[in-house]
Chains A and B, each alone.
Chain A
């Protein structure tokens, strides 16, 4: 359902949310509202056996209605896919994410870690802040001898 209200400016396009929905907006009105329209509003279900959530969908009927988003809620980066794909036992080789060190996304964790940019960071002095904390720890371990003799003390060389 769309309408063009004569109120604001003439090119404003308005949409109406369908019941039932929840809409949230900051009272400053400086930010984009976000909302969700439900096929069925959540309800407590006492029939699901313990220890399941009372909001557990009834044994996924094939006709079970699915909820839909109508706004790219909490997707500040709309060029992103909608959430992460449902990965089956995830191949270690297909781990995508964001590298805080390099400030960039990567499609494959392992490949990124091997990249020149990341390796440069990995060998940089940026980790001093970590080493400083490490230097305050007391090393209390004894090395296991490779050939299972009695343990010998190690020199603390970090």
Chain B
């Protein structure tokens, strides 16, 4: 298109070094923070090769750019993790050159993949995750569009470290930052207007003087004055738009602090780093403010925040269906939430400040759920709490609430929903269970398949047996009349072993502390006959 031509022209203009080196063919991807182009280049080896040129948005901080490059150079280039060939810069324009891997559209192939291909896909995803996690990289945006898959070549590549964060012991130097020992809340205005239920909103106005005094007053004596009640039409809320799903992590806070919310301060003095958070259409920046020491009060810590105030007042609303001007005047907790809504783990959705590589494993579980159920995207939510509610309908509300307690969150949900049996759920959604009408593209032809395919296996079928069956099916397919059979072939979907659902269950573990790791996943019986 004309638009694309113009984009390509502009890229050549912005980074003139590209001019005689690359023939830029087309734009193949556009995100909030970058555009990706397909290009060819003549290498000194004599071959002309296809390359992917990733042009980063020039508003990216150099440290972010450098961190992304470091992830690619240190962790990339093997075990299905995308590597980097070169990088060009002119002023604020940076172009990362990567090998190009032609890949499928996940949605297009989702319902044509054989069960064996799904097994291979997951195995290769875990290889990539094991590698990046080994380096202490939390990817934060694991999803099909960031895991390139070439079905024919059986090649895979985990891409895009634009949102990556480091674990406390990360081996990626640029993902390290000084650890703040306390997770910040942020009060960004003096007069937060807080809509209450039923279109009622509370206007909490605290004059600066009072706010300042409160820092030296016992909290229980604190009175929020000037509270107003206004009738107001409840806002239609959306955090981020459906189209712009990615919210970038807090810059300058790419590390996960090791603050535990259940940890109680006993010292009389506490050092608090104050920060101001600005959140503007999916990019956040955290600026460190000067360190202020405040007194810990017997009944909670009163703090002055960068702009406005923060009072840690206790009210009666905790774990009830109530909210009041006291709890709503508290600071919002700041926790990383970059990523794509439907792939966010429960601890991300509930703003848990300590997030680990386990969030990537949850995302891998969501991909697996899509593969097993034939649905993509599996969850469809434009905000975090809708996403959490959808998770509850699959994993159970009681279970979700229970798990949240372990990472310091009180979740209250009026709806009691039972956990689904994962096999039943996936088979129903895929349409491979007996009690379900088949979708048109899966109409079994005659009775050929029934008479020749192996009898349904026992529930407790060992992977060994499964392996043999797959082999049996394969050799069967390659026999005479293969074409005729193919139409009837269930591609292994009529015998998904229990191990598949057991692994899915461990990936979608609501408790990040016990959730399966990439290393463990590769050892799971589901992959019994595969070499890590």
**A residues with CB within 8 A of B:** 1-2, 5, 7-38, 41-44, 46, 49-56, 66-80, 82-87, 92, 96-103, 105-106, 109, 112-113, 118, 121-123, 126-134, 136-146, 151, 153-154, 158
* CB-based contact B279/A26 at 8 Å: no
Bound CA–CA A133/B41 (angstroms): 21
B386 nearest CB across to chain A (Å)? 7
Q: What chain A residues lie within 8 Å of B323 (beta carbons)?
A: 14-15, 17, 23, 33, 35, 71
Specify the chain A residue showing the minimal Cβ separation from B86.
A137
* CB-based contact B325/A118 at 8 Å: no
* CB-based contact A26/B409 at 8 Å: yes
Bound CA–CA A137/B92 (angstroms): 19
- On whether A151 and B316 interact (CB within 8 A), knowing A38-B389, A42-B389, the answer reads no
- On whether A27 and B197 interact (CB within 8 A), knowing A127-B62, A146-B20, the answer reads no
* Segment at the A interface, from B125-133, B220-228, B506-514: B220-228
* CB-based contact B195/A97 at 8 Å: no
Bound CA–CA A149/B471 (angstroms): 54
- On whether A98 and B284 interact (CB within 8 A), knowing A12-B224, A24-B409, A70-B196, the answer reads yes
Instruction: Choose among B251, B312, B439 the residue that contacts A100 (Cβ–Cβ < 8 A).
Output: B251
- Give residues 224-250 of B contacting A (CB, 8 Å): 224-225, 227, 229, 234-244
B281 nearest CB across to chain A (Å)? 5
Bound CA–CA A74/B58 (angstroms): 26
* CB-based contact B411/A22 at 8 Å: yes
A126 nearest CB across to chain B (Å)? 5
Instruction: Choose among A8, A18, A30 the residue that contacts B326 (Cβ–Cβ < 8 A).
Output: A8
* CB-based contact B279/A75 at 8 Å: yes
Bound CA–CA A142/B47 (angstroms): 10
Q: What chain B residues lie within 8 Å of A35 (beta carbons)?
A: 323, 385
Bound CA–CA A34/B251 (angstroms): 23
Instruction: Choose among B88, B111, B234, B378 the residue that contacts A68 (Cβ–Cβ < 8 A).
Output: B234
Task: A26-B333, A132-B66, A144-B20 given; name 16 further pairs at CB < 8 Å.
Answer: A2-B196, A12-B315, A15-B196, A30-B300, A32-B327, A33-B327, A69-B383, A70-B195, A74-B332, A76-B188, A77-B278, A84-B282, A101-B58, A129-B66, A131-B89, A134-B69
Q: What chain B residues lie within 8 Å of A158 (beta carbons)?
A: 17
* CB-based contact A141/B21 at 8 Å: yes
* CB-based contact B89/A134 at 8 Å: yes
Bound CA–CA A27/B352 (angstroms): 11
- On whether A14 and B61 interact (CB within 8 A), knowing A71-B195, A79-B189, A118-B92, the answer reads no
B185 nearest CB across to chain A (Å)? 5
B403 nearest CB across to chain A (Å)? 13
Q: What chain A residues lie within 8 Å of B28 (beta carbons)?
A: none
Bound CA–CA A121/B205 (angstroms): 39
Q: What chain B residues lie within 8 Å of A12 (beta carbons)?
A: 224, 227, 315, 324-326
* CB-based contact A26/B59 at 8 Å: no
For residue B271, CB closer than 8 A to chain A, the reply is no
* CB-based contact B322/A14 at 8 Å: yes
Q: What are 28 A-B pairs at a CB distance below 8 A? A: A13-B325, A15-B198, A16-B321, A20-B414, A29-B300, A30-B301, A31-B185, A34-B351, A46-B429, A50-B431, A55-B379, A55-B380, A68-B236, A72-B195, A74-B351, A77-B277, A79-B188, A83-B240, A85-B241, A96-B281, A100-B251, A100-B285, A101-B61, A101-B92, A105-B280, A113-B58, A123-B91, A158-B17
Q: What chain A residues lie within 8 Å of B414 (beta carbons)?
A: 19-22, 41
Bound CA–CA A132/B251 (angstroms): 21
B100 nearest CB across to chain A (Å)? 14
Bound CA–CA A28/B251 (angstroms): 25
Q: What chain A residues lie within 8 Å of B242 (beta carbons)?
A: 86
For residue B393, CB closer than 8 A to chain A, the reply is yes
Q: What chain A residues lie within 8 Å of B174 (beta carbons)?
A: 129
For residue B202, CB closer than 8 A to chain A, the reply is yes
Bound CA–CA A67/B381 (angstroms): 11
Q: What chain A residues lie within 8 Å of B60 (beta carbons)?
A: 100-101
Bound CA–CA A46/B425 (angstroms): 9
Identify the 9 closest CB pairs spanning chains A and B, nearest first.
Answer: A69-B237, A15-B196, A98-B283, A122-B92, A100-B61, A36-B385, A31-B333, A98-B280, A83-B238
- On whether A32 and B331 interact (CB within 8 A), knowing A15-B196, A73-B385, A144-B42, the answer reads yes
